[in-house]
Amino acid sequence: MTDLEKLEDQYPELRFWSIDVSNPHFHGLIKGTDVYINANDDNLTQLMTALHEVFHHEIDCGDLSDIHRVEVIKEEGQAIRFATRLVKDFIQP
């Protein structure tokens, strides 16, 4: 079982989709209960992105579409820290 599959098992309410996006700056997003992960990223980046989006699923409750709002910037920072802290729990030795 891959690290990403372990995460998917922990969140059965979410559906994870692998999508092909050639933009190297796009890693993923969540819309409702659908999590889209860039298939062109390496495994670690995909896992970090999935954890980041899980944070948004569990914690965020507002509109995050305006990336220039202070609240959005704070939420993105919290999601990054959440993913960084939890990634070690999923990485297989």
Residues 6+ apart with CB under 8 A from 88: none
Q: CA 66, CA 54: separation in Å to the nearest integer?
A: 19
From start to end of the chain, where are the E strands?
15-19, 28-31, 34-38
pLDDT tens digits along 40-62 = 999 999 999 999 999 888 886 56
Whole-structure pTM value: 0.77
pLDDT at 8 over 80: yes
Q: Report whether 49 contacts 70 (CB < 8 A).
A: no
Beta strand 15-19 pairing with 34-38: parallel
> Look-up: residue for tokens 């699923």?
57
Tens of pLDDT, residue by residue over 63-90, are: 666 666 677 778 878 888 888 888 877 7
